[in-house]
């Protein structure tokens, strides 16, 4: 049983991680830390968490903790990962992994020196919707893939995360926040990397220095052309679609855990197959899979080394927006 502690316990931990840990088989949440001591104590009491730590250092140094789950704001990820590595604790860090690729490289150097497992909480790789799409593509059910699209929309005015538009804390607006999920989802189902990026984005009075909506064009190493569209100015919606030479796979709200979704295969203008799946246990599967890697029983689907790929795509997307030019991405 791997004993986890959460650094940066907040809305995400309460909404997603607490329910996930309640169903794990090989993982247990026993500790937390957040910057407000009163909230730390209150959360520990409310959710029955054994250890309420007074600092991130205390949590990472504790012999009661085997793995540190980092759920702090983006700009805090680097020092938090370095702290966990210093105390030779396995690290599972939320996305986006860092503010830029150089920070990810610092993380990788630290965890490799400490010889500890390091994963990115790209929980969507554990979604049955994405795994089924990946399987159907690999089976050749749509022929050669040529186009792919993923969208993530939500209303930021309803978000309890007050820091998401603060450029000192957030990697960016929806490109960094949810666009990274879309990018990773397409990389995962297509089983390829991004070779070039071109971005259009817009700010507004509410988003300030960061974007509020964007369209990202992607060229994949396999030759597939893709697009990611994101906004914090619309009702919640996610989608994923892959077009092949002989068919199309699409899934409306395929990136949600809140209700079952239909993965649809169309060929010749007709529906050939529909399979309803649920992603509800994805966080639980992710936590237990990371526990298995720590104990040498498996390979985690989103290693920190792969997280560098996504960070380079994000970096290129923002450079393209600001410079107005397409950006090439070299292979990691």
Q: Which of 121, 107, 105 is nearest to 20 (CA)?
A: 121
8 A C-beta contact, residue 74 and residue 315: no
**Domain architecture of the chain: domains with CATH:** 2-121 (3.40.50.720), 124-279+311-328 (3.30.360.10)
pLDDT band for position 330 (cuts 50, 70, 90): confident
Tell whether the model's pLDDT for residue 286 goes beyond 70: yes
242 or 160, which is more confident?
Answer: 242
Q: Which of 83, 77, 39 has the alpha carbon at shortest distance from 61?
A: 83
CB 34 within 8 A of CB 43: yes
- What's the mean per-residue pLDDT of the chain? 96
- CB-facing half-sphere around the CA of 59: CA atoms within 13 A: 33
Per-residue pLDDT reduced to its tens digit, 293-302 = 999 998 999 9
CA distances from 289 to 3, 120, 261, 294, 300 (A): 13, 12, 23, 9, 6
What's the chain's length in residues? Answer: 332
Per-residue pLDDT, 245: 98
């Amino acid at each position: 049983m791997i004993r986890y502690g959460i650094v940066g316990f907040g809305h995400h931990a309460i909404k997603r991680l607490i329910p996930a840990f309640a169903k794990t088989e090989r993982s247990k949440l026993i500790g937390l830390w957040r910057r407000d001591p009163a909230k730390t104590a209150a959360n520990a009491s409310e959710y029955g968490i054994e250890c309420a730590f007074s600092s991130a250092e205390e949590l990472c140094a504790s012999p009661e903790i085997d793995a540190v789950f980092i759920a702090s704001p983006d700009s805090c990820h680097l020092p938090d990962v370095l702290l966990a590595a210093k105390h030779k604790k396995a690290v599972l860090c939320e996305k986006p992994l860092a503010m830029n690729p150089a920070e990810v490289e610092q993380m990788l150097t630290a965890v490799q020196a400490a010889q500890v497992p390091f994963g990115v909480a790209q929980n969507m790789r554990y979604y049955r919707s994405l795994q089924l799409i990946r399987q159907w593509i690999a089976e050749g059910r749509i022929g050669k893939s040529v186009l792919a699209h993923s969208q993530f929309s939500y209303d930021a005015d309803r978000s309890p995360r007050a820091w998401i538009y603060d450029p000192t804390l957030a990697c960016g607006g929806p490109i960094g926040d949810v666009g990274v999920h879309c990018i990773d989802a397409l990389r995962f189902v297509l089983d390829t990397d991004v070779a070039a990026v071109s971005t259009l984005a817009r700010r507004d009075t509410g988003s300030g220095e960061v974007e509020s909506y964007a369209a990202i064009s992607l060229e994949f190493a396999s030759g597939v052309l893709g697009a990611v569209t994101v906004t914090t100015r619309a009702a919640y919606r996610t989608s994923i679609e892959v077009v092949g030479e002989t068919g199309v796979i699409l899934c409306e709200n395929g990136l949600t855990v809140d209700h079952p979704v239909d993965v649809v295969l169309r060929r010749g203008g007709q529906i050939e197959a529909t399979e309803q799946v649920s992603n509800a246990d994805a966080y639980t599967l992710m936590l237990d899979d990371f526990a298995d890697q720590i104990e040498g029983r498996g390979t985690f689907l989103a290693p920190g080394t792969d997280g560098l790929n996504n960070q380079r795509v994000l970096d290129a997307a923002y450079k393209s927006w600001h410079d107005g030019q397409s950006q090439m991405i070299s292979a990691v």
